[in-house]
Structures are given as C-alpha cells and as structure tokens.
Chain A
C-alpha cells in the first residue's frame, strides 16, 4: 500500500531563510507526487506535482521539489522564506488508478 510521511509537524524559520519541508513516500510502483498548501480557513492549493518527467519540479511562489527515487523522497524547498509562506503544507502520493493519499501535514511558521 502506498503511504506518505512528512517529517516534522511544525517547522519554524526566519524571514529570508531556507525553507525545507520533508516528505518520504512508500509506493510499489512509480508514484505521482504532489505538494499542496493550505492557508487558514481555506481549501488546498496545488503547489507542484511530479508525474515522471523532470525530477526537479518547479512550482508556484518560488517553491520547488526534487524527486529522489533512491531515497524515496520528495522534499519541498524555497531559497528565501517570506512571511506570506506561513501555512500548512501537505505532501500527497498516488499510483495509477488510485486517489491521492495525503500526509499529515507540516505547519510552517515564518518569523521576522
């Protein structure tokens, strides 16, 4: 069965610092991988997705993620955090023919 693990339920960074949110997946076949962001009292927005094309995926708002098959990871990064990046971030995985399975989420706090 497929699953996704997000390491760290809460990450705190200073404005301008590197953002690194960790995601590891478990899948018996090549997966599709996604990162979503949720701002308070809102639905989820797609940040980026990996669907077996380039291993480095660029998304919206300056975020990117790298698919590493050998490490079964799909970590989300942003070189310089902004106050507006404070939100909850979800990693998700699916295989062909299955719906998305979400991780438990990581709350990102950004301090000035």
Chain B
C-alpha cells in the first residue's frame, strides 16, 4: 500500500546511546516532516524538509539531526539519547508543500531508560 513507512515501530534505548529513525514515502511527495507526540502536548515539529536537499528546524530540534537522503527518505538521528526524548515519533509527507494535507506514518514508540 502506498504511504509513509517508519522503522522501527518500537525501540528501547539506554541513555547515551544513538539511533536513527527511518522514514520513507512512495507518493513522490516533495515535503517531509518529523514530529514528536507527548501526552497533553499534541504534536511538536522537530525538523522538516520542504524539498529534496533542504532541511529546517522546527519547534523542538535540540538533540536531533536529520538527513534528507533523497526524495523518498528522511531520517531522524538521536546522537546521545536522553530520557526526555522518550516519545512517539511521527514522520509525515505532503505533496504540494507545507500548507496541504499531510500523510502520516504509523509512528515509532521510543523509550529511553
């Protein structure tokens, strides 16, 4: 099925470990996004890529890095995980730019102990 695929679905890390969350879309969308969801906080934008070759910080970028590997793939890296990064992470993409409806992946549930 066409859509946004995130891997892994679940992950437990120890404080200080690093990992990369993968995201791929097969809809030929130009723009891609990473959000984190925390109880009572809604979704907060971490980073986004308006088009291939560009990335920009969102509301909560500290502790994260991103790579827009190609038009399909947009990865999120935690260099040194902290318990405050325990969250559910969502990747999304949009066809016609920042102002149109986003298609979301099913999320990665990350726990940092």
What is the size category of the interface that chain B forms with chain A? 20 to 34
Contact of A9 among B40, B59, B100 (CB under 8 A): B40
Contact between B99 and A90 (Cβ–Cβ < 8 Å)? Answer: no
CA distance A95 to B40 in the complex (A): 24
B63 located at the interface, meaning its Cβ lies under 8 Å from any Cβ of chain A in the complex: no
Chain B: CB-nearest residue to A106: B42
Contact between A51 and B104 (Cβ–Cβ < 8 Å)? Answer: no
Contact between B42 and A99 (Cβ–Cβ < 8 Å)? Answer: no
Q: A99-B45, A104-B42 are in contact. Are A43 and B90 (CB under 8 A)?
A: yes
Contact between B106 and A94 (Cβ–Cβ < 8 Å)? Answer: no
Contact between B99 and A46 (Cβ–Cβ < 8 Å)? Answer: no
B40 proximity list for chain A (CB < 8 A): 9, 104-105
Contact between B104 and A90 (Cβ–Cβ < 8 Å)? Answer: no
CA distance A95 to B4 in the complex (A): 24
CA distance A44 to B43 in the complex (A): 10
Q: A99-B33, A99-B58 are in contact. Are A46 and B45 (CB under 8 A)?
A: no
B103 proximity list for chain A (CB < 8 A): 46
Contact of A96 among B41, B59, B99, B104 (CB under 8 A): B99
A32 proximity list for chain B (CB < 8 A): 99-100
Contact of B104 among A45, A94, A95, A98 (CB under 8 A): A45
Contact between B42 and A94 (Cβ–Cβ < 8 Å)? Answer: no
B61 located at the interface, meaning its Cβ lies under 8 Å from any Cβ of chain A in the complex: no
